[in-house]
Structure 1
Amino acid sequence: MEEMLLPWELIIEILLRLPVKSLIHFKTVCKSWLTLISDPHFASSHFELAAACTERLVFVSLALSLPSVPEFRTIDFNAHLLDDSASPTFKNMFYRPRPYDDIEFLGSCRGFLLLELNGIFCVWNPSTGAYKFVHPSPVVTGRRKFFAFRGFGYDPSTDDYLVVQVYHNKLSGDYATLVDYFSIKTNSWKEIGATPLNYRQCFSYRNSTAGCFLNGAIHWLAVCYDASIHVIAAFDLTERSLSHIPLPLNFEHHDFNPSFLRILGGSLNLCSLGRDSLEIWMMKEYKVKSSWTKTVVMPIDALPTGLFFPICYTKSGDIVGTNAGARLTKCDVNGVLLEHRFYRTGSSGSKVAVYKESLLSLPCDTKQAGEDD
């Protein structure tokens, strides 16, 4: 029987629609497939086909034994939380030469995560295992500084990824808001002068300085110190400028009730956790104040510990979140508990993040997990 061979163009179209995990495995099929799947243009085309890219939740799990050794775990949050097959463990990640015991997620963009490991930045692709450490900024080294915000995003105009720091120089006396950023492409830091307005961190319960990347900008919940109002500070990565977005008209920030930003359903969402319920406001049209809509008012009294910090929506519309350190929880928008699983995941969201699987690489030299640093 004559062997039937598919045209190379058809093979490419098929591979473009396969999940990342399968493509990494298929690199071993033959040299031509290895070359194709390793090609940056193939990776970019694959990422643009959203159907082939699975969104996953990654978190730092702390062992109960002492000394506690952190492990990275990822799950498909559309699967059951109790499904161990959906929860591979990344062990011995970035250990140099001892385990990092202080780990925070500070941003997510195009399949990459920005981590802070004992005060050191690291950009990591969990799908491929490639990572890059970012050396400290020489601009702020040695200064008395207070970091208000950190974040990570992509500038399509230069095909570059930026690590962004927003801070105040205490020695200046006026506490002006300053920004510096690290360009992955040029492997260097650059400082931006004082901004026209002064932005400060919102000091609410378990507040995080991590940013949310959307529409080419990194966003943080902030206080506009000059106007004494709460806003969403936004750093545009193409314009390299800091501005702000108004909060919903009827939204009130209380220092003793946690308020925080999330990217849910592909939109900017403002969450407010009260004593008895969780409110979620969605900005349905970006930067249009009138488009803020209260989409969820969810009672939380039936949930474990009575705390719930949403992380992501599932395809069926349920919400996955954490209760600030003990477990992952899945519930519906009416507050009905669907699933929960005990993990020592750390604080409210700072050790949990969502990323989209990708084959994308950084425009610089990177290392693979397990290589010496």
Structure 2
Amino acid sequence: MASNSGNHVVPEDVTVEILSRLPVKSLMRFGGVCRYWYTIIRNSSFITKHHDHHNNNVHLLVQYYNFDTEKFAFSLFPDENLDSVPLLYHELDELQMSRDPLYVLGPVNGILCLFNGGDHVALWNPTLRDFRLLPKLQENSPPYFTINWDSFAFGLDPLTKNYKVVWIRYFWDDRIDTLYFPPIVAVYTLWTNSWKMIEIDLPLNQPIDSTFNDGFINGTYYWMTSDNSDMYMIISFEMGNETFGMIRLPLDFPKLPWEGLTVYNDSLIVILYHPPMEEKYFEIWRMEKEGLWNKQLTIGPFLDIDRPLGLWKNGELFLESEKTQQLLLYNINTQETKVLGPRGYEHCLKVLNYKQSLVSLKGQNEFREVYNSSNMIREFCTS
């Protein structure tokens, strides 16, 4: 694409279009041999274009429990039809992220947020195998406070394009033996690599759950919950202005137990289930706009199903087996169930619709890829 004199014989817009169609592994190799290509590949607009390109297919990334090593792990299904054996991605010992339980949020532009159930939070790009362990939260709570519950949000500020993590920490007041409100709320920003406390009241006097009960769309994070009168509501957090909000569900919304809130095709989806019995039915509802919900379908009956885990392409539904805790894929049209293999442990099984990403978590550091005949060695250097 370039002559020996250094003059580029291919217009830059054509070069960008060609490069945007290539997998990340190829781009990293090209960037290591040509400074011009490297400059294009590390450009933020190119990174977004590559992630959103239709050639960058969605793959299934599964968080599961490896019973052989007794550790949490992630595996990627390389085949879009989920017919191939999943590839082991990583076990997270070196970052002290293997403690039970391991919570996963995202992905947002290919980045995941991980919480080990203690005081370690990390960001991870599985494509680049790029980790960033976040600073510990220093909340300076009174000595009679005991940590009771942690909830999180993870997203991207649509204006600044800065990644943010929201940490909501609830405390138990040992003096009066009750949960203390309001919780402490802190926001981490990737650019500053630091936490800041924000003075804000959550519109809810009970903890928010962040396990298959949340989703991020267009700069806003959402959780589904209920108040003390068992009225359903959705709590929101806008990443741009860092404010909370609340969406109350209609009064005629079904009073069935909710199994979770998720995102599908840029819409909020709520999955309800009929009270536990031998045969289970699930209802799938979609929010058309604030205050307007439509039931998409009811599926079932199911035997030996513990819970739904999310939606896949063409409306297929991921399920967890009650007996084996294996990951299953249910085809709504054919009503056939496929066993995918990975197993959970105490509701740790999680499915993620993942696309390759060039987003780096190294701040001002750049990376070079060095290849030999058998493997790839990563070197980091300060720009």
Q: Which has the higher contact order (CA 8 A, sep 6+)?
A: 1
The one-character-per-residue Cα deviations of 1:296-339 (angstroms, maximum 9, x if unpaired) are 2000425xx2234132221x332234346722222222571242
Counterpart in 2 of 1:123? 123
Rounded to whole Å, the distance in 2 between the matches of 1:354 and 1:364 is 25
Rounded to whole Å, the distance in 2 between the matches of 1:352 and 1:367 is 31
* Alignment check: 8 A CA contact 2:97 2:115 kept: no
Describe the shift of the 1:236–1:140 C-alpha distance in structure 2 as closer, same or farther (beyond 3 A).
farther
Rounded to whole Å, the distance in 2 between the matches of 1:159 and 1:363 is 15
Rounded to whole Å, the distance in 1 between the matches of 2:366 and 2:206 is 35
For 1:297, the aligned partner's letter is T
Counterpart in 2 of 1:213? 216
Q: Flag structure 2 segments of 5+ consecutive residues without an equivalent.
A: 4-8, 368-376
TM-score normalised by L of structure 1: 0.80
Instruction: Report the CA distance between 1:95 and its aligned residue.
Output: 1.8
The one-character-per-residue Cα deviations of 1:259-298 (angstroms, maximum 9, x if unpaired) are 210111221001113342111100123xx212x1100200
The one-character-per-residue Cα deviations of 1:11-52 (angstroms, maximum 9, x if unpaired) are 2211113343443454456443344323334213323x4413
For 1:11, the aligned partner's letter is T
* Alignment check: 8 A CA contact 1:53 1:358 kept: no
2:13 counterpart SS class: helix
Rounded to whole Å, the distance in 2 between the matches of 1:167 and 1:335 is 44
Between structure 1 and structure 2, the one with the greater Rg is 2
Instruction: Report the CA distance between 1:209 and its aligned residue.
Output: 7.3
Rounded to whole Å, the distance in 1 between the matches of 2:341 and 2:273 is 21
Residue 64, structure 1, aligned to residue 67, structure 2? yes
Instruction: Report the CA distance between 1:78 and its aligned residue.
Output: 3.3
Rounded to whole Å, the distance in 2 between the matches of 1:244 and 1:348 is 27
* Alignment check: 8 A CA contact 1:100 1:118 kept: yes
Counterpart in 1 of 2:139? 139
The one-character-per-residue Cα deviations of 1:83-134 (angstroms, maximum 9, x if unpaired) are 12xx321245452589556422133312110111352111011111112111
Residue 320, structure 1, aligned to residue 323, structure 2? no
* Alignment check: 8 A CA contact 2:259 2:307 kept: no
Q: Residues 180-329 of structure 1: matches in 2 within 5 Å?
A: 180-195=186-201, 197-201=203-207, 208=211, 211-225=214-228, 229-253=231-255, 257-274=257-274, 275=276, 276-285=280-289, 288-290=290-292, 292-301=293-302, 305-314=304-313, 316-323=314-321, 326-329=325-328
* Alignment check: 8 A CA contact 1:220 1:261 kept: yes
For 2:320, the aligned partner's letter is T
Describe the shift of the 1:13–1:342 C-alpha distance in structure 2 as closer, same or farther (beyond 3 A).
closer
Rounded to whole Å, the distance in 2 between the matches of 1:169 and 1:183 is 24
For 1:68, the aligned partner's letter is E
* Alignment check: 8 A CA contact 1:112 1:355 kept: no
Counterpart in 2 of 1:113? 112
Instruction: Report the CA distance between 1:176 and its aligned residue.
Output: 2.1
Residue 339, structure 1, aligned to residue 342, structure 2? no
For 2:295, the aligned partner's letter is K
Q: Percent identity?
A: 22
2:50 counterpart SS class: helix
Describe the shift of the 1:41–1:77 C-alpha distance in structure 2 as closer, same or farther (beyond 3 A).
same
Describe the shift of the 1:309–1:22 C-alpha distance in structure 2 as closer, same or farther (beyond 3 A).
farther
Describe the shift of the 1:175–1:371 C-alpha distance in structure 2 as closer, same or farther (beyond 3 A).
farther
Residue 361, structure 1, aligned to residue 360, structure 2? yes
2:343 counterpart SS class: coil
Report the more deviating stretch, 92-101 or 175-184: 92-101
Rounded to whole Å, the distance in 1 between the matches of 2:77 and 2:336 is 19
Describe the shift of the 1:265–1:367 C-alpha distance in structure 2 as closer, same or farther (beyond 3 A).
same
Describe the shift of the 1:106–1:34 C-alpha distance in structure 2 as closer, same or farther (beyond 3 A).
same
1:95 counterpart SS class: helix
Describe the shift of the 1:236–1:335 C-alpha distance in structure 2 as closer, same or farther (beyond 3 A).
farther
Rounded to whole Å, the distance in 1 between the matches of 2:117 and 2:183 is 25
Instruction: Report the CA distance between 1:359 and its aligned residue.
Output: 1.0
Rounded to whole Å, the distance in 2 between the matches of 1:277 and 1:330 is 16
Instruction: Report the CA distance between 1:138 and its aligned residue.
Output: 0.7
Higher share in strand: 2
For 1:32, the aligned partner's letter is Y
* Alignment check: 8 A CA contact 1:177 1:199 kept: no
* Alignment check: 8 A CA contact 2:78 2:87 kept: no
Report the more deviating stretch, 273-282 or 170-179: 170-179
1:11 counterpart SS class: helix
Task: Find runs of 4+ consecutive structure 1 residues off by over 6 angstroms.
Answer: 366-372
Rounded to whole Å, the distance in 2 between the matches of 1:238 and 1:18 is 32
For 2:65, the aligned partner's letter is L
Instruction: Report the CA distance between 1:182 and its aligned residue.
Output: 1.3
Rounded to whole Å, the distance in 1 between the matches of 2:149 and 2:250 is 26
Report the more deviating stretch, 270-279 or 35-44: 35-44
Instruction: Report the CA distance between 1:233 and its aligned residue.
Output: 0.7
Report the more deviating stretch, 136-145 or 50-59: 136-145
* Alignment check: 8 A CA contact 1:298 1:334 kept: no
* Alignment check: 8 A CA contact 1:201 1:221 kept: no
Q: Residues 28-43 of structure 1: matches in 2 within 5 Å?
A: 30-43=34-47
Rounded to whole Å, the distance in 1 between the matches of 2:132 and 2:123 is 5
For 2:335, the aligned partner's letter is V
